């Protein structure tokens, strides 16, 4: 049966995981928390950094899907992915990944140019994830560490390209929350799909994942609270950031509630498909806007 051009385009967009570009918004973190979001030059530069990282991330998703095609066919949800379902061949997918990598580095070259650390962070993200796809994903903890480093590299990339440092406490928030989401995803993969869909799941104990994810949840809230009560943070904001801690705790609890409700554990899917969680995050964004930019707007 011949596939229509419209369906083909949808398959390729699905292959690129456009909705997962939401994770790459972390490159804006230094700009936002340094209260420089309305600096037009830095905003445009960060936007192109977001594009570069998103193109590279899509290439990584494709590479991983190529290697995981046989396993994905056994998964309740992943068998619908374009490569696993046969909508797109491995050869065409590999060609797309090469094009996306090239585009990512072209965008980086045009807008970041000679900032060597930014190039290093992109390269580290690329090669660490290729190593992940080639076999490191089957080693317990190493698979999670690579995923967590991916989130940290997004922040480091955004910080380097704008020249804006970021609070050590916020680095720790991202570090702990990334582990929390990664552990939750592995935990729920065992619950919903079994160990046959991912080799590393055979080497994880459910109790270890369950206990560890809540340790990381606790650390996330603690680290965020430490940022909120930091003297420097309090001195430069018109509204005390401590008032946002309770909302962050509620967001984490809601996320945990959805996670416990037998979801597949993917952070982006949890956020996009839960109306309450989206509302809470939107409310946090509004409050944080006034915390950070209240003096500018009022």
Report pLDDT digits (tens) over 213-249. Answer: 999 999 999 999 999 888 555 556 667 888 899 999 9
Q: Tell me whether residue 26 is in a domain.
A: yes
Question: If we measure between CA atoms, which residue out of 258, 266, 263 comes closest to residue 81?
Answer: 266
Neighbours of 196 (CB within 10 A): 11
- Confidence category of residue 292, pLDDT binned at 50, 70, 90: confident
Distances (CA, A) of 46 to 30, 59, 93, 114, 254: 10, 20, 28, 16, 30
Considering the domain architecture, whether residues 261 and 189 belong to the same structural domain is answered as yes
Q: Tell me whether residue 57 is in a domain.
A: yes
Considering the domain architecture, whether residues 88 and 209 belong to the same structural domain is answered as no
Supply the pTM of this predicted model.
0.91
- Confidence category of residue 53, pLDDT binned at 50, 70, 90: very high
List the domain range (segments joined by +) for residue 98. Answer: 7-120
Q: Tell me whether residue 174 is in a domain.
A: yes
Q: Check: CB of residue 283 under 8 Å from CB of residue 277.
A: no
Considering the domain architecture, whether residues 224 and 283 belong to the same structural domain is answered as yes
Q: Tell me whether residue 2 is in a domain.
A: no
Considering the domain architecture, whether residues 11 and 97 belong to the same structural domain is answered as yes
Kind plus residue range of the DSSP H or E element containing 73: none
Asked whether the CA dihedral 275, 256, 154, 124 is positive or negative, the reply is negative
Neighbours of 128 (CB within 10 A): 17
Considering the domain architecture, whether residues 179 and 287 belong to the same structural domain is answered as yes
Q: Tell me whether residue 262 is in a domain.
A: yes
Considering the domain architecture, whether residues 74 and 191 belong to the same structural domain is answered as no
Q: What is the pLDDT of residue 238?
A: 64
Considering the domain architecture, whether residues 292 and 180 belong to the same structural domain is answered as yes
Considering the domain architecture, whether residues 189 and 287 belong to the same structural domain is answered as yes
Q: What is the pLDDT of residue 265?
A: 75
Considering the domain architecture, whether residues 178 and 286 belong to the same structural domain is answered as yes
Q: Tell me whether residue 261 is in a domain.
A: yes
Q: Check: CB of residue 171 under 8 Å from CB of residue 152.
A: yes
Q: Check: CB of residue 21 under 8 Å from CB of residue 133.
A: no
Q: Check: CB of residue 226 under 8 Å from CB of residue 256.
A: no
Considering the domain architecture, whether residues 172 and 273 belong to the same structural domain is answered as yes
Q: What contacts 2, CB < 8 A, 6 or more positions away? A: none
Total count of domains within the chain: 2
State how far the Cα of 183 lies from the Cα of 80, in Å rounded to an integer.
Answer: 24
Q: How many residues does the chain have?
A: 298
Q: What is the pLDDT of residue 1?
A: 45
Q: Tell me whether residue 228 is in a domain.
A: yes
Q: What is the pLDDT of residue 120?
A: 92
State how far the Cα of 169 lies from the Cα of 235, in Å rounded to an integer.
Answer: 16
Q: Give the residue from 56, 90, 120 where a domain finishes.
A: 120
Q: Tell me whether residue 132 is in a domain.
A: no
Q: In this structure, what token pair is assigned to residue 233?
A: 């943070």
């Amino acid at each position: 049966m011949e596939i229509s051009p419209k369906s083909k385009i949808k398959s390729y967009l699905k292959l690129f995981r456009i909705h997962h570009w939401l994770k790459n918004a972390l490159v804006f973190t230094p700009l936002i928390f340094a209260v420089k979001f309305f600096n037009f030059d830095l905003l445009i530069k960060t936007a192109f950094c977001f594009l570069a990282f998103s193109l590279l991330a899509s290439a990584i998703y494709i590479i991983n899907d190529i290697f995981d095609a046989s396993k994905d066919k056994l998964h309740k949800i992943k068998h619908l992915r374009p490569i696993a379902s046969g909508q797109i061949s491995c050869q065409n997918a590999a060609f797309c990944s090469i094009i996306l990598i090239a585009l990512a580095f072209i965008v980086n070259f045009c807008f970041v140019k000679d900032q060597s650390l930014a190039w290093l962070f992109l390269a580290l993200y690329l090669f660490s994830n290729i190593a992940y796809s080639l076999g490191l994903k089957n080693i317990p903890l190493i698979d999670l560490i690579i995923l967590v480093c991916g989130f940290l590299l997004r922040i480091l990339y955004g910080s380097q390209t704008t020249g804006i440092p970021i609070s050590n406490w916020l680095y720790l928030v991202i570090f702990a929350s990334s582990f929390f989401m990664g552990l939750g995803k592995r935990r729920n993969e065992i619950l919903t799909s079994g160990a046959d869909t991912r080799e590393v799941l055979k080497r994880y104990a459910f109790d270890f994942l369950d206990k560890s994810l809540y340790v990381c949840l606790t650390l996330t809230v603690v680290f965020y609270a430490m940022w909120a009560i930091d003297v420097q943070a309090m001195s430069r904001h018109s509204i005390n950031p401590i008032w946002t801690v309770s909302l962050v705790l509620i967001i984490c609890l809601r996320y945990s509630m959805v996670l416990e409700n037998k979801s597949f554990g993917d952070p982006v899917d949890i956020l996009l498909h839960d109306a309450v969680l989206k509302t809470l995050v939107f409310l946090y964004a509004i409050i944080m806007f006034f915390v950070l930019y209240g003096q500018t707007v009022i």
